[in-house]
Structure 1
Amino acid sequence: MITIYHNPRCSKSRAACTWISESHADEPTEIVEYLKRPLTVSQLKALRELLDVPLREMVRTGETEYADLGLGAAGVTDEAIYEAIARHPSLLQRPIVVRDGRAVIGRPTENIAALFE
């Protein structure tokens, strides 16, 4: 099963969906439009574990909410960041692709190929 955390307005996210549908059409794929169905804090924590990256790599620092919430300030806890992403899903990096218990951030799109090696 392949799961794509997808934002249809994002060209990289659309490219990930296209790459997977063209190269791995035989595998079941779930597309999660996380802006419509935001992830919970527990789901975000599980996703971070699969990504095996520091939490801040999951965050889009260029989003208005990032600055408005002061998420770049020293001393901001991981819990505060998880809560912020859960409340403001646009802060989540995109796309994120999960397969066989592993995950990657699909920026650049070539990162996704590592899940199929």
Structure 2
Amino acid sequence: MIKIYHNPRCQKSREGLHILEQSGKEFEVIKYLEDVPSKEELRKVLDCLGITPEMLVRKNEAIWKENYRGKLLSQEEILDAMILHPKLIERPIVVNGGKAVIGRPPKLVEDIL
């Protein structure tokens, strides 16, 4: 089943969700700020995306700038930071089977359908 890691307050995430709704396909919405993914779930998403944890971080967030920027962090520490502060996770992320995209721009969501 298709999954979207969604933040309702984010315009790009809302646009990605709209694309999924228009597709007519079944999908699951995961509001990741409320239902924080586990470290293992994040690893699976990263595998589907084919990227490192650091590439999934929203580096312009104040939380990142104040607590993590400029520090030498392991991949595990970056995963821990995203779990502790899920706001740091890029959005939206759409997973379909073994593939995933970050919907920035939202039009990329179409590529995975």
Partner of 1:4: 4
Relative to the length of structure 1, the TM-score reads: 0.91
90-99 or 48-57, larger mean C-alpha shift: 48-57
- Alignment deviations for residues 23-58 of structure 1 (CA, whole Å, 9 cap, x no partner): x21x21100000001111111111100110232221
Relative to the length of structure 2, the TM-score reads: 0.94
Question: Residue 103 of structure 1: which of 87, 100, 104 is its match?
Answer: 100
Question: Residue 67 of structure 2: which of 66, 69, 72 is its match?
Answer: 69
**How many residues were matched structurally?**
113
For residues 69-88 of structure 1, what are the structure 2 equivalents within 5 Å? 69-70=67-68, 72-88=69-85
- RMSD over aligned Cα atoms: 1.1
Consecutive unaligned residues of structure 1, counting only runs of 5 or more, are none
Moved over 3 A (4+): none
For residues 1-117 of structure 1, what are the structure 2 equivalents within 5 Å? 1-22=1-22, 24-25=23-24, 27-70=25-68, 72-116=69-113
The SS at the match of 2:12 is: helix
Consecutive unaligned residues of structure 2, counting only runs of 5 or more, are none
Aligned residues with identical type, % of pairs: 34
The SS at the match of 1:76 is: coil
Distance 1:87 1:40 in 2: 10
